[in-house]
Structure 1
Amino acid sequence: MPETIRIENPELAVEISTLGAEMQSLKTVDGRDWLWNGDAAWWTGRSPILFPIVGKTPGDQLAINGTNYPMAQHGIARRRDFAIVEQTATSCRHELASSPQTREVYPFDFRLTLEHRLDGGRLSVTATVENTGDTPLPFGIGFHPAFLWPLPGAEGKPHAVILDNGAEPGVVQLEDGLIGKTLPNSPFKAGRLELAHSLFDKDALIFPEGAGTGLTYAAEGGPSLAFTFENLPNIALWQKPGAPFLCIEPWHGMAAHAGGTAELVERPYTVALAAGDEMRFGFTVEING
């Protein structure tokens, strides 16, 4: 059975499961939980890690050097048990290493380490991917945390997402979960997106580039969550239509192109990590209010 561990400081407390190294709660000292609770009536996820792909593959088949392997949406890591390799009062590290079971569907040697760390009112989540094999390691990686909408104490208030860079990034439309055409207009206006449930009637909003390295998810006159991103150029926003959560998803990698190849190396923003190398990806979130 998965084990859940807790880290905390005077401002925040976080619980993380060994299954997928997935965060289960993010609470402020007053007991309010800002993370989605995984209610199966809407969506059982809370904050899964996406590896070695982000998004879907054509027919749930991933091609690697011409050979097809079964691969469900968002990859294998979210469904695997991680080992706890380090824990302090305010931080913990979980690790997933390649095994005969992972090689059956993803024939590479790797080590994926996920760290959760608290610093005052800020949570940092960092993923490190290491190529432990002797050939290049192709992969995509992403984070998929879901936060309450409305935010705690902000029922009835308008909510918005505000980009730090004030941009109006282009958005692509999904076609059966795969990357389709770029839409003619950005939903952002001068870096601001007024949230409405209807935005997600046709699935996620995906911004391949231009959204920058930080944003704020805020209720008007109420609480806010401020995010920064490290080495994660793609941003997605998603809600199951009508559900009481908003996913803020920073990625390095995206779904396959609709009508395109199933080859992993052809997926947008796929990383090719040299043998013996490692790469780091992460986000921070600071709660205000």
Structure 2
Amino acid sequence: MPTLTEIGNDHLAVAVSSLGAEMQVLKTSDGKDLLWNGDAAYWTGRSPILFPIVGKAPDDTVVIDGKPYAMAQHGIARRREFALVESGPNVCRHELTANDDTKAAYPFDFSLLLEHRLEGASLTVSATVTNRGAEPMPYGLGFHPAFLWPLPGAEGKPHAVTLANGGEPPLLRLEGGLLSEEPRRSPFHGGRLVLDKSQFEQDAMIFPEGTGTALTYGAEGAPSLQFGFENLPNLALWQKPGAPFICIEPWHGMAASHGKGPELKDRPYTLTLPAGESMRHGFTVTVAA
């Protein structure tokens, strides 16, 4: 059975499950929940880790060096038990290492280390991918945290996502779960996107580039969440239609392109990690008054 590891300080409390190293709780010191609760009426996820693919593969199959492997949406990590390798008052680390089970779907000798660390009113979630094998290793990595919409203290107020760079990045949509490469007009205006539930009737809003490394989510005159991103150039926003949450998803890697082949290395923004090397990705979320 999955086990929960809890960390906390004077500002925030976090709980992380061993299943998928998925955060289950993020709340303020006065008990206000910020993270979605996983209600199955909408979506059982809360903050899954996406590895070694982000999004879908054609026919749920990836091809690696010409050989097909069954691969469900968002990869294998979120359905695997991680080992707790460190736990302290303000930090916990979970690790997934390759075994016969993972190699049946992803034939590489890898390590995926997830860290949740608190510092003041900020939580940093990072993933370090290591290639322990002798061959180059293609992969994608993404975070999929769901935050309450509306946020506590902002009920009844319009919520917005505001890019720190003031950008107006082009929008891509999905077709049957695969990425359409036809760009659409940006819904951002001067870096600001006022959220509306109708925006998600066509599934996620995906921004391959141009969103920068920082954004704010919240309502004017109310507490907000400030985000910073490390080595995560892609951004998606998603809501299960009608659900009281918004997923703010920084990625390095995206769904396979519609009409293109299933080769893993050819997916947009896929990385190839040389033998013996590591790569870190992460995001920080800060609760701002």
Q: Same fold (TM over 0.5)?
A: yes
Q: What is the distance in 2 between the residues matched to 1:153 and 1:228? A: 22
Q: Which residue of 1 aligns with 2:269?
A: 269
Q: Which residue of 1 aligns with 2:194?
A: 194
The 5 A counterparts of 1:95-244 are: 95-244=95-244
CA contact (8 A) 1:170 1:182 kept: no
Q: Which residue of 1 aligns with 2:284?
A: 284
Q: What is the distance in 1 between the residues matched to 2:83 and 2:41? A: 29
Superposed CA offset, 1:161-216 (max 9, x none): 00000000011110011110333310000000000000000000000000000000
Mean alpha-carbon deviation: is it higher for 69-78 or for 174-183?
174-183
CA contact (8 A) 2:110 2:130 kept: yes
Give the structure-2-normalised TM-score.
0.99
Q: Which residue of 2 aligns with 1:6?
A: 6
SS of corresponding position for 1:182: coil
CA contact (8 A) 2:181 2:257 kept: no
The 5 A counterparts of 1:66-105 are: 66-105=66-105
- How far the C-alpha of 1:49 sits from its partner, in A, is 0.3
CA contact (8 A) 2:125 2:284 kept: yes
Mean alpha-carbon deviation: is it higher for 74-83 or for 181-190?
181-190
Gaps of 5+ in 2: none
Q: Which residue of 2 aligns with 1:42?
A: 42
SS of corresponding position for 2:180: strand
Q: What is the distance in 1 between the residues matched to 2:204 and 2:127? A: 23
Q: Which residue of 2 aligns with 1:251?
A: 251
Q: What is the distance in 1 between the residues matched to 2:258 and 2:216? A: 31
SS of corresponding position for 1:102: helix
SS of corresponding position for 2:199: helix
SS of corresponding position for 1:172: coil
Q: Percent identity?
A: 65
Give the structure-1-normalised TM-score.
0.99
Q: What is the distance in 1 between the residues matched to 2:270 and 2:132? A: 18
Superposed CA offset, 1:71-120 (max 9, x none): 00000000000000001100000000000110011000000000000000
Moved over 6 A (4+): none
Gaps of 5+ in 1: none
SS of corresponding position for 2:173: strand
Give the aligned CA root-mean-square deviation in angstroms. 0.6
Give, as a single letter, the amino acid of the residue that structure 1 aligns with 2:155: E
